[in-house]
Amino acid sequence: MTTMTIPGRPVVGSPGFEEFVAARSARLLRTAYLLTRDHGLAEDLLQTALTKAYLVWGRIEGDPEPYVRRIAVNTYASWWRRKWNDEHPTDRLPDTGHHDERVGESGDLWDALGRLPRRQRAVVVLRFFEDLTEAQTADLLGISTGTVKSQTSKALAKLRIDSSLVGEEGTR
């Protein structure tokens, strides 16, 4: 950790921001990890979202967490991959499309989640990890509830999950 203790240095912290980061960022980091599946990228995504929020901190009304989550998810879903795809080395071969997109009976759900398109993965994380309703998910992603339903349905099909079950617990 780096701290500056130079006398006279301007105070740059916004009231409440540090407390928010301390109290809430662990949960946001987990969401970022489920989206990026990489600890370093998750931290970078979270810091990117927090930086954007920090710059307008005084103008955020109410609970900042949904705002930060919205930034993180949309950053991930839009330019995240474009920004990092060519820069981030990996010890795994990239997905090349030869996988069976549907996970097998004994298939690993985590691997299958990793093969979902970004938008579908975001919908799954928001709906089934964050427990957001379809309406909340739609609002957060800036898409219609119909799109949330269709993206969810496609994602669950690829994960070999009976989508009829979603209606029972998932249309909140």
Partner 1 sequence: MNTLQDLRATLDQHAAGVSDDLAIARVGAVTGRARVVRRRRAAGVGTAAVVALVTAAALSALPGNRDVAPARAPDSLTSLGWTYRLADTLRTGDDRVREELERSELPRLVSWSTTGDDQQVVVRFNGETWTSELADFGDFVWVPPNFGGEMTISGAAGLTMATYELDESVIPPGVGSGAATFREDVAGRELVGAAVGDLGQAELIVPVDAERGTLWLAHTCEGMPSRGYEVRIGVVGESGFFSSGDSCTSGSGFDPGGRPNLGTPGPWGPGASLRITVTRGGQVVPEGTLSDLRLGLAAYASSADLVVAAGHDFPRVIEHAGKVWQLDHVAEGAGAQLPRVTVPDDGQYVVANWVVASPQTPYVLSVDGSTEDQVWVSGIGASGSGARPVGPGQDLGLEIRGDEEDITQAALVLYQRVD
Residues 121-140 close enough to bind partner 1 by CB under 8 A: 124-125, 128-129
Between the alpha carbon of residue 57 and those of residues 9, 53, 140, the distances in Å are: 21, 6, 18
Residue in this structure with the two tokens 């990793």, named with its chain if needed: 114
Confirm or reject binding of residue 141 to partner 1 (CB under 8 A): no
As given in the structure block, the two tokens for residue 29 are 């980091």
| Identity of the residue, 2 or 96, whose beta carbon is nearer to partner 1 in the bound complex | 2
Task: Show the site string, 66-95: x = touches partner 1 by CB under 8 A, - = not.
Answer: ---------------------xxx------
Instruction: Give the list of residues 6+ apart from residue 72 with CB closer than 8 angstroms, or none.
Output: 28, 31, 32, 35, 45, 46, 48, 49
Q: Which of 138, 30, 14 is nearest to 64 (CA)?
A: 14
Exactly one of 38, 65, 136, 143 binds partner 1 (CB under 8 A); which one?
38
| Identity of the residue, 63 or 108, whose beta carbon is nearer to partner 1 in the bound complex | 108
Confirm or reject binding of residue 34 to partner 1 (CB under 8 A): yes
Q: Contact 60/53 with Cβ under 8 angstroms?
A: yes
As given in the structure block, the two tokens for residue 27 are 């949960």
Q: What residues make contact with partner 1 under the rule CB under 8 A?
A: 1-6, 9, 12-13, 17-18, 21-22, 25-26, 29-31, 33-34, 38-44, 46-48, 50-51, 54-55, 87-89, 103, 105, 109-110, 113, 124-125, 128-129, 156, 159-162, 165-166, 169-170
